[in-house]
Amino acid sequence: MTNDAVKVHKMHNIAARSLLVLALFLPSPSLAKDPLRILVMGDSFMTSNGSAGSAVPSLLRRDLQANVQSRAVTGARFVYRLPITGALGMNIAKQYRPGPWDFVVMNGGGNDLWMGCGCTRCRKRLNRLISPDGRKGEIPSAVNTARKSGAKVIYVGYLRSPGLGSPIEHCRKVGDALEARINVMAKQDAGISFVSLADMVPHGDRSFHAADMIHPSPKGSAAATKRIAQAIRNIKK
C-alpha cells in the first residue's frame, strides 16, 4: 500500500470514529418525538361521552398522539366550599396536579353560574369568577397556577343552545359575558388561548347536544376536540 493510500485509509477511520462519537451525543429519534404531556381540568363538558371513549380527553389522546391525563369531574365548579370533595376534584382549581405539562386544557364556570345563581342576577358570582379586566378571580388564579409551571393553557368555552328549548337557554347572556372576560384574560398572555365554541352549533341543530340539551353528544365532543387540537398545533408551530 502506498503512503498516499495509507493516509486516505487513516482519514477514513478518523471520519468514521468522529461520526460514531457524534451519534452518541445526538438525541435518538424516539426522544425527539416524545408525545405532548397534557392535563385536562374541568366539568362535565370534559367527561361527557367517556363511557363510549368519546370524551374530549380520549379524543385529544388519539388525535394528537399525546400523553393525556384528565382530572375533570362532572358537576365541578370553581366556587366550591366543601374541603374533602373539593380536594377530590369538585373544585376545579384543586384538580391541578404538578407535572411537566406542555399544555393544560381547562374549562369551567358554567356550573357556578347555572347552579350558583340560576343564570339570573349573577353579576356578583361572575365577578368572583373573573373580573372585567380578566386579571382577578377564581379562573385567572387557576390559570396562573398552570402557567407558573411553564405549561401553555387552552381555555375552552361552552356549546351554545340551538334555540330548541334547552334548560340553559336563558343562560346565553351571562355565558357570553363570562367568555368575553376569559377572552380578555387570554389576550394578555401569549401562553393562554381561548377556544370559543359559541359559533359551533347551527341554530335548530340538536345533533351537537346530548338528549338533555346541555351536554355535548359524541359529535359535539368530537367537534370541540378538533378546535382544541388545532389550537394546540397552532401554538406548537
Summarize pLDDT for 61-108 with one digit per residue, the tens: 999 999 999 999 999 999 999 999 999 999 999 999 999 999 999 999
- Report which secondary-structure segment, H or E, holds 67: strand 67-70
Report pLDDT for 117. Answer: 79
- Rounded CA separation 38/152 (Å): 10
- For residue 22, what pLDDT is reported? 41
Q: How many CB atoms lie within 10 A of CB 219?
A: 15
Confidence (pLDDT) at 120? 81
Q: Report the SS3 class of residue 117.
A: helix
- Cell for 3? 503512503
| Helix (H/G/I), strand (E/B), else coil: 125 | helix
Q: Can you give the pLDDT at residue 188? A: 97
For residue 57 the three cell numbers come to 380527553
How many Cβ atoms sit within 10 Å of the Cβ of residue 115?
A: 12
Which residues face 209 on adjacent strands? 216
Distance of CA 33 to the CA centre of its chain: 21
Record the pTM.
0.85
Which strands, in side-by-side order, build the sheet including 103-106?
67-70, 37-41, 103-106, 152-156, 192-195
Question: CB under 8 Å, gap of 24 or more: what pairs does 185-190 form?
Answer: 185/130, 185/134, 185/135, 185/139, 185/140, 185/143, 185/155, 186/134, 186/155, 187/134, 188/134, 188/135, 189/147
Closest CA to 210 of 218, 201, 199: 218
Distance CA 136, CA 62 (A): 35
Q: What is the pLDDT of residue 167?
A: 84
For residue 10, how many other CB atoms are within 10 A of its CB?
10
pLDDT one digit per residue (tens) for the chain, 237 residues = 555 544 444 544 544 454 444 444 444 444 447 899 999 999 999 999 999 899 999 999 999 999 999 999 999 999 999 999 999 999 999 999 999 999 999 999 999 998 877 788 899 999 999 999 999 999 999 999 999 999 999 999 999 989 887 888 888 899 999 999 999 999 999 999 999 999 999 999 999 999 999 999 999 999 999 999 999 999 976
DSSP code string of 153-189: EEEE--PPP-SSS-TTGGGHHHHHHHHHHHHHHHHT-
